[in-house]
Structure 1
Amino acid sequence: MILVTLLWLEWLEYLGVLFIIIGLIISLFLQSNTLLFSAITITFLLNIINRFRLESRTKNRIGAALNIQLRRFSGEVEEINAKISDYIEKQNTLTTPPKISSNTQKSDNPIIASLQQDVESLNKSLTSIIDYIQEHKLEQRIKSLEQLYQSSQSSRKPINSSPNDIKLPDRHVLSQSQNYDIEAPPKIAWKCIHIINGHSQSVTDLIITHDSKYLLSSSWDQYLKIWSLDTGYEIDAVKASAQGVLTVSVSDFNYLDHGIVTGSLDQDVKIWSLKSEKNSLRLNLQNTLTNHTGSIHGLEIASSRQIIVSGSYDQTLKQWDLQSGDLLQSCYDKTGAINAIAIHEESGFIASGGGDGEITIWELGGERKLGLLVGNVTSLESIAISKSGEYIAGGCTDGSIKIWHLPNTMFSLFLELSPTLELQGHHGQVMDLIFNPDGNLLYSGGVDGFIKIWHPATAKELGHLKIGDDNRIFSLSLSKNGEILAAGGVDGTIKIWQQTNQNH
């Protein structure tokens, strides 16, 4: 096949080389170089001709290949242009309503003139709304939210857990069998022991000390106060911020020395101690931490590690040394402002959430992002973690409460988990959430004025409490033994209950 494809000029060139060899041999015997020089000259000319021919053939082949690629590229460009045209045509379906000319002749009739003015105002409003929809691509965002919601609905199914914590059985099994082996809801009763007119504005946060002796409260009225749970009397009060105090937390080990922290609207985190003066306790400011650039809405103390964890509207989660106030870690949450945080020291993680509805799991004492809890499309106002660390509850602005189960592989693999259970609990925002020490009950407080007690294993509400008929719940706190419950209202009232009976 190779011999067939060779052109005649190439054959002549090869013959010329053969003649050169023959001429060389003859010249050695006859002592004549005429034949040799002739063969060399002819071969050289044939070589030049073949080089030009080869260059021309190569250019033709390259040109043909380029033409093929150009046709392919043109086809791809036409396909992209068609897709762009389809997209523009879809976007143009949101047509702007016809505008009424501002030069329209105004009627002399006052009623008609008023109607003309109303129509013109309505036209401007509709035009503005549609321009906004087109500019921000709201149609696509709504479709994404609908798909996310449908996905969360289809993936929401109860699970089983360890016998020491919440058990979430399949609801279909519950409806089919009365013999399903789950722990019965505990029978509890609460008795009001104190009603305190604590603040002049909303009570933003409450925390009971680990020994159940004191209650600390923060408020929009800029004050931090400490109360005796035994008597209900105020022990001390300090103006803790030039603006509202949004959150307060207390160390579980030693709240007297650098054991109280507050976060406020003025972007500061402050560390407080309790000093004994004249047979009483006084709040003393020890340190002010100013690295945040947004208001502080989440604040916790990891007591065994002596770490403060703060979450802010500046989209950062920061960790500080409790004693020195040094900044240890700072993590940026690209999903948005942080509304709430919770920590679990034994498992070594932090949960934070905000306006995007997702809960991010961070490493306590580090910067790693460990996981993501998805499947919620409304903003989060509160987060709670069960004592075992297996369950995280999120309180949402739409009144729902979502519960996620964390598998054992949560921290060895980065996972995105959907809710295991959803409780339709409140009319309006769920402002605070607390698991009881056993992990079998969940307390929620909402702007509808109710404190609801849930048994997640059966998804049932066991009962509810109220501060007053027209008072909204802003904050909750439960003692470490689960026997004292405190709630703060929008009018500054603090109500405290004590458990009078518990029968498992």
Structure 2
Amino acid sequence: MSKRAPPDPVSVLRGHIASVMDICFHPSKNILFSGSADGELRIWDTLQHRTISSGCLHSAAHGIISVAASSVFGDDKVISQGRDGTVKYWDIGDGGLSRTPLLTIRTNAYHFCKLSLVQIPLASIGGTVTQKSDQDLGDSEIGDDIHVKEHIEGPRYVALPGEDVSMVEVWDVSNAKRVAQLYQYTDDPQKSMKRRGMCMAVQAFLLPESEGSLNILTGYEDGSILWWDLRNVEVPMASVQFHAEPVLSICLDRSCRGGISSAADDKVVFFTLDYSTKSILIKKEIMLERPGIAGSSIRPDERIVATAGWDHRVRVYNYRKGSPLAVLKYHNAMCNAVTFSPDNKLLASSSEDTTVALWEIYPPQRI
């Protein structure tokens, strides 16, 4: 652990009047999106630290639970997910939110599992990673210089629970059509197919080994995680149970061969995915003094990872070694989400205290 005092936020974004449920950075611009429990989405300028645009995209009674943006969808698009059973696709081409969505997907899903866009491995999109060395991170500044193509080709899909919250669905955002359904699987036909409970976390991704077929990790109420290849929607490739409480987030690194899971229990798990053996393997377990991690994010350079704690704290770890680096203290209520900017320079955290904090933590070094 660093002996230096952890930094304060470089800025605190205020404007929401309800809990900020989710945040995400624009894939190529200095813009941050934030969605709150009263249905408002705000677009922030991360250089001037001000609101560019805002709008109530979902009903105040249900609110927004997830916001997402990706180069796959283009630079002028953002997706919002509400607890009103809809996912909406928005145009921000003129610098502000359009009055009506480009498309609405009626999923009839009404609980708190955030949707997932498809994550594409860095090697598949023409990116290059340049590293100084593989030395220990320690207390020094850390970071890589990553260059990624501006426009990425990939499936315009979202994955999320459906009307049956124990089932996961994949929807095509291009035409609002459902393309797949993943039912829970049990090797004991005498047991209920709903024995794992609700789907609480989902992450869609691609791997070269799957020949373009979509892969999905799903986390459930009983603490289990399943790995699916959509070429076989009947049976998952792998099943593990790393957690004793509901899985709340699954985050993959840029290679899509490793990641972390967090839950309502007192554990954060670093894992690897082995397609050849079709297995999910524990790399490192971190035991927490206080249970409950609502969200997590791995920086694009794969050097550090941040978690959003129920105890109001943002914790930063060395991703390669799993060692703790810093505990960031600002929020005075539960943290709901954390996310890193594509250029590795900023970390954003959102909280029930209605604020979004921006941090500069272990800034990347340009090589």
Does TM, scored on the shorter chain, surpass 0.5?
Answer: yes
1:444 matches 2:307: yes
1:419 matches 2:238: no
TM-score by length of 2: 0.76
Structure 2 CA distance for aligned equivalents of residues 296 and 452 of structure 1: 23
Give the conservation status (yes or no) of the 8 Å contact 2:6–2:326.
no
Which of 180, 190, 201 is residue 340 of structure 1 equivalent to? 201
Q: CA deviation at 1:456?
A: 4.4
Between Structure 1 and Structure 2, the one with more helix by share is 1
1:252 matches 2:74: no
Q: Cα–Cα, structure 1 residues 216 and 255, in superposed 2: closer, same or farther, change >3 Å?
A: farther
Q: CA deviation at 1:472?
A: 2.3
**Equivalent position amino acid for 2:161 in 1:** G
Unaligned runs of 5+ in 1: 1-184
Q: CA deviation at 1:370?
A: 2.3
Post-superposition Cα deviations, 1:44-80, rounded to whole Å, max 9, x if no partner, equal xxxxxxxxxxxxxxxxxxxxxxxxxxxxxxxxxxxxx
Which of 227, 230, 240 is residue 57 of structure 2 equivalent to? 240
**Equivalent position amino acid for 2:97 in 1:** R
1:282 matches 2:132: no
1:489 matches 2:351: yes
Q: Give the 3-state SS of the residue equivalent to 1:285 in structure 2.
A: coil
1:127-142 to 2 correspondence within 5 Å?
none
Q: Give the 3-state SS of the residue equivalent to 1:298 in structure 2.
A: coil
Structure 1 CA distance for aligned equivalents of residues 88 and 232 of structure 2: 22
Q: Cα–Cα, structure 1 residues 453 and 476, in superposed 2: closer, same or farther, change >3 Å?
A: same
**Equivalent position amino acid for 1:360 in 2:** L
Which of 4, 13, 22 is residue 196 of structure 1 equivalent to? 13
Q: CA deviation at 1:202?
A: 1.1
Structure 2 CA distance for aligned equivalents of residues 188 and 441 of structure 1: 18
Unaligned runs of 5+ in 2: 119-152, 185-193, 209-213
1:208 aligned partner: 25
Q: Cα–Cα, structure 1 residues 423 and 282, in superposed 2: closer, same or farther, change >3 Å?
A: same
**Equivalent position amino acid for 2:238 in 1:** G
Structure 1 CA distance for aligned equivalents of residues 340 and 117 of structure 2: 16
Structure 1 CA distance for aligned equivalents of residues 38 and 289 of structure 2: 26
Give the conservation status (yes or no) of the 8 Å contact 2:90–2:97.
no
1:317 matches 2:136: no
Structure 2 CA distance for aligned equivalents of residues 364 and 209 of structure 1: 28
**Equivalent position amino acid for 1:446 in 2:** G
**Equivalent position amino acid for 1:265 in 2:** R
Between Structure 1 and Structure 2, the one with more strand by share is 2
Q: CA deviation at 1:311?
A: 2.8
Structure 2 CA distance for aligned equivalents of residues 343 and 353 of structure 1: 12
Structure 2 CA distance for aligned equivalents of residues 190 and 200 of structure 1: 26
**Equivalent position amino acid for 1:361 in 2:** W
Give the conservation status (yes or no) of the 8 Å contact 1:370–1:410.
no
Higher relative contact order (CA 8 A, sep 6+): 2
Give the conservation status (yes or no) of the 8 Å contact 2:109–2:165.
yes
Q: Cα–Cα, structure 1 residues 324 and 426, in superposed 2: closer, same or farther, change >3 Å?
A: farther
Give the conservation status (yes or no) of the 8 Å contact 2:244–2:265.
no
Give the conservation status (yes or no) of the 8 Å contact 2:90–2:101.
yes
Q: Give the 3-state SS of the residue equivalent to 1:195 in structure 2.
A: strand
1:176 aligned partner: none
Structure 1 CA distance for aligned equivalents of residues 48 and 231 of structure 2: 39
Structure 2 CA distance for aligned equivalents of residues 293 and 452 of structure 1: 31
Give the conservation status (yes or no) of the 8 Å contact 1:262–1:299.
no
Q: Cα–Cα, structure 1 residues 477 and 425, in superposed 2: closer, same or farther, change >3 Å?
A: same
2:215 aligned partner: 349
Post-superposition Cα deviations, 1:147-180, rounded to whole Å, max 9, x if no partner, equal xxxxxxxxxxxxxxxxxxxxxxxxxxxxxxxxxx
Q: Cα–Cα, structure 1 residues 291 and 460, in superposed 2: closer, same or farther, change >3 Å?
A: closer
1:267 aligned partner: 85
Which of 242, 247, 251 is residue 380 of structure 1 equivalent to? 247
Structure 2 CA distance for aligned equivalents of residues 188 and 388 of structure 1: 32
Kindly report the root-mean-square deviation, in angstroms, between the aligned alpha carbons of the 2 structures: 2.8
Whose Rg is larger?
1
Matched residues, number: 311
Q: Cα–Cα, structure 1 residues 429 and 375, in superposed 2: closer, same or farther, change >3 Å?
A: closer
Q: CA deviation at 1:188?
A: 12
2:190 aligned partner: none
Q: Cα–Cα, structure 1 residues 325 and 190, in superposed 2: closer, same or farther, change >3 Å?
A: farther
1:435 matches 2:298: yes
Give the conservation status (yes or no) of the 8 Å contact 2:113–2:201.
yes
Q: Cα–Cα, structure 1 residues 293 and 406, in superposed 2: closer, same or farther, change >3 Å?
A: closer
Q: CA deviation at 1:442?
A: 1.8
